[in-house]
């Protein structure tokens, strides 16, 4: 039996809240009930009751959605899947079943300890499988192995037909193949309620990885040095980083705003055989930043990390079992705004100039000490063209994925942070490389491949062509799937596929 939490329950105040403290926006946007579902049967019954009562169901697995998609649902029911988190093998370890409520951290640990395999998913332990995989989810070993959605072989999903009847479907390439393909990259909250994912095969867990951190204090930063860091990083992934022997290298620029005190370039590395016996590829990458590194140990503390000191370059060898990022902020305490870009080429001079301008800017009343641009390396196995037909993730030529992030706690800073971010992003994509019809956006073309739905940004709906940014040529197909499997548009949010 599902546990129903209503406003008279002391747990309601905590459980109604999203991880992003901005949602629900106010009391009038709150859900009326949170249903903690303990089994697939439970979930089907709750969904049927909600739909029959004419309520709107929203869904939460790990709760990491950046926008208000599940938390703003006045008088509706929030179906919470977090109690269904089993990770198991189906037969002879030949296929794996992961329930939607499992977190990435639990999934990595169980897959490694029980079966010595891994899922090439995201870097944050507390992200939920439910939203992550269907949005395409990727992370540290995805250049080597592809995205999580690339490995999917089945999805157990509850859909609602035109008469309002709930049905459990086990979809795969052979059964409801159109729905299965749509679940591989379209993002959550679109076609139905996903109960579990099946993976016929998963890649082997690496045996060990090398982790390297280079810290660049803003006190020693110049515009010229900033440009050289971005140029070296982008240039590498546009050229040498395309070679298969480098695919075990995942690089990140954490370009924190000047107010945080430092920037960081990090890399996680293993060879394609899952070992670090040979480190030539990593050494080559790190050598690009030789001469740019600071001369001495620098204190780090004002920004995203707790106070600590780093040497100018730290390198650690870590057994695979001990990897995995920390969980991050507690539910509802931190407010955030995010934007994303998929890049096909290295940074242009104009882009770098604009990044520098905004990452050194100050605004009265806005604290930028928790603001950053994260540049992730991309490409490798994620760019396998054969996956274009099997999934709806069309971004198969990108070399970097950018995530603009800003965090704060005081609601009084909402406007300052969101408007700054809006201007920043718009200006970066208003250079001469962007055609007149798509100014302000990384419209898919020679330089960009749009945006990433797992890093959703409802501001983008201001552009009539926003679906092309997220789904490229696949939006018509997704609308057909929507009309077929969710004819009453039961599952919807600000950026869901329109019927």
Ligand X SMILES: Cc1cc2nc3c(=O)[nH]c(=O)nc-3n(C[C@H](O)[C@H](O)[C@H](O)COP(=O)(O)OP(=O)(O)OC[C@H]3O[C@@H](n4cnc5c(N)ncnc54)[C@H](O)[C@@H]3O)c2cc1C
Residues that bind ligand X (CB under 6 A): 58-65, 69-70, 81, 100, 122-124, 127-128, 130-132, 135, 137-139, 188-189, 193-194, 328, 454-455, 493
Residue closest to ligand X, measured at CB: 188
Residue 275 beta carbon to ligand X: minimum distance, rounded to whole angstroms: 24
Residue 70 beta carbon to ligand X: minimum distance, rounded to whole angstroms: 4
Identity of the residue, 131 or 416, whose beta carbon is nearer to ligand X in the bound complex: 131
Residue 81 beta carbon to ligand X: minimum distance, rounded to whole angstroms: 5
- The string of DSSP letters for 100-169 reads TT-BHHHHHHHIIIIISB-----SBTT-BHHHHHHTT---TTHHHH--TGGG--EEEEEEE-TTS-EEEE
Identity of the residue, 209 or 288, whose beta carbon is nearer to ligand X in the bound complex: 209
Identity of the residue, 190 or 271, whose beta carbon is nearer to ligand X in the bound complex: 190
Identity of the residue, 169 or 493, whose beta carbon is nearer to ligand X in the bound complex: 493
| Alpha-carbon gap, residue 63 to 78, rounded angstroms | 11
Identity of the residue, 135 or 185, whose beta carbon is nearer to ligand X in the bound complex: 135
Identity of the residue, 137 or 416, whose beta carbon is nearer to ligand X in the bound complex: 137
Residue 325 beta carbon to ligand X: minimum distance, rounded to whole angstroms: 8
- The string of DSSP letters for 350-409 reads HHHHHHHHHHT--BTTB--TTEEEEEEE--GGGG-TTHHHHSS----S-SEEEEEEEEES
| Alpha-carbon gap, residue 369 to 82, rounded angstroms | 32
Residue 298 beta carbon to ligand X: minimum distance, rounded to whole angstroms: 25
Residue 474 beta carbon to ligand X: minimum distance, rounded to whole angstroms: 18
- Which value, in Å, is the radius of gyration of the alpha carbons in the chain? 22
Identity of the residue, 57 or 274, whose beta carbon is nearer to ligand X in the bound complex: 57
Helix (H) or strand (E) run with residue 196 in it: strand 193-199
Identity of the residue, 124 or 221, whose beta carbon is nearer to ligand X in the bound complex: 124
Helix (H) or strand (E) run with residue 180 in it: helix 177-182
Residue 99 beta carbon to ligand X: minimum distance, rounded to whole angstroms: 9
- Output b/e per residue, 32-64; b: 16+ Cβ within 10 A: ebbbbbeebebbbbbbbbbbeeebbbbbbbbbb
Residue 54 beta carbon to ligand X: minimum distance, rounded to whole angstroms: 19
The shares of helix, strand and coil residues in the chain, as percent rounded to the nearest 5, are 30, 25, 45
Residues 268, 274, 277, 282, CA torsion sign: negative
- Looking at the DSSP bridge assignments, the partners of residue 35 are 4, 79
């Amino acid at each position: 039996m599902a546990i129903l939490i209503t406003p008279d329950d002391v747990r309601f105040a905590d459980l109604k809240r999203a991880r992003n403290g901005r949602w629900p926006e106010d009391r009038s946007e709150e859900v009326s009930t949170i249903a903690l579902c303990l089994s697939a049967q439970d979930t089907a019954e709750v969904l049927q009751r909600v739909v029959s009562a004419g309520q709107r169901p929203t869904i939460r697995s790990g709760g990491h959605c950046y926008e208000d998609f599940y938390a703003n649902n006045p008088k509706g029911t929030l179906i919470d899947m977090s109690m269904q988190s089993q990770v198991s093998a189906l037969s002879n370890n030949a296929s794996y079943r992961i329930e939607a409520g499992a977190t990435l951290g639990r999934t990595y640990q169980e897959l490694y300890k029980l079966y010595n395999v891994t899922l090439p998913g995201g870097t944050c332990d507390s992200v939920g499988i439910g939203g992550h995989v269907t949005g395409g989810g990727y992370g540290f070993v995805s250049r080597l192995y592809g995205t999580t959605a690339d490995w999917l072989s089945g999805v157990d999903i509850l859909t609602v037909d035109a008469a309002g009847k709930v049905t459990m479907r086990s979809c795969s390439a052979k059964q409801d193949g159109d729905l299965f393909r749509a679940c591989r990259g379209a993002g959550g909250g679109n076609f139905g309620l996903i109960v579990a994912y099946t993976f016929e095969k998963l890649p082997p867990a690496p045996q060990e990885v090398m982790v390297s951190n280079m810290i660049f204090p803003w006190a020693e930063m110049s515009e010229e040095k900033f440009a050289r860091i971005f140029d070296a990083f982008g240039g590498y992934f546009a050229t040498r980083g395309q070679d298969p022997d480098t695919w075990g290298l995942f690089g990140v620029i954490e370009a924190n705003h000047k107010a945080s005190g430092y920037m960081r370039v990090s890399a996680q590395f293993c060879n394609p055989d899952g070992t670090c016996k040979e480190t030539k590829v990593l050494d080559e990458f790190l050598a690009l930043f030789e001469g740019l590194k600071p001369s001495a140990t620098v204190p780090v503390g004002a920004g995203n990390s707790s106070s600590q000191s780093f040497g100018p370059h730290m390198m650690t060898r870590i057994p695979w079992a001990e990897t995995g990022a920390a969980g991050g902020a507690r539910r509802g305490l931190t407010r955030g705004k995010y934007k994303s870009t998929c890049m096909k080429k290295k940074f242009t001079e104009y882009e770098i100039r604009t990044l520098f301008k905004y990452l050194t800017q100050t605004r009265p009343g806005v604290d930028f000490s928790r603001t950053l641009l994260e540049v992730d390396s991309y490409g490798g196995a994620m760019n396998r063209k054969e996956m274009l037909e099997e999934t709806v993730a069309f971004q198969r030529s990108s070399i970097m994925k950018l995530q603009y992030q800003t965090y704060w706690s005081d609601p009084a800073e909402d406007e300052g942070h969101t408007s700054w971010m809006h201007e920043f992003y718009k200006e970066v994509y208003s250079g001469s490389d962007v055609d007149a019809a798509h100014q302000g956006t990384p419209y898919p073309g020679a330089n960009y491949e749009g945006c990433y739905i797992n890093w959703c940004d409802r501001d983008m709906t201001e552009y009539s062509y926003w679906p092309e940014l997220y789904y490229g040529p696949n939006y018509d197909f997704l609308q057909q799937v929507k009309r077929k499997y969710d004819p009453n548009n039961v599952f919807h949010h600000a950026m869901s596929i329109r019927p």
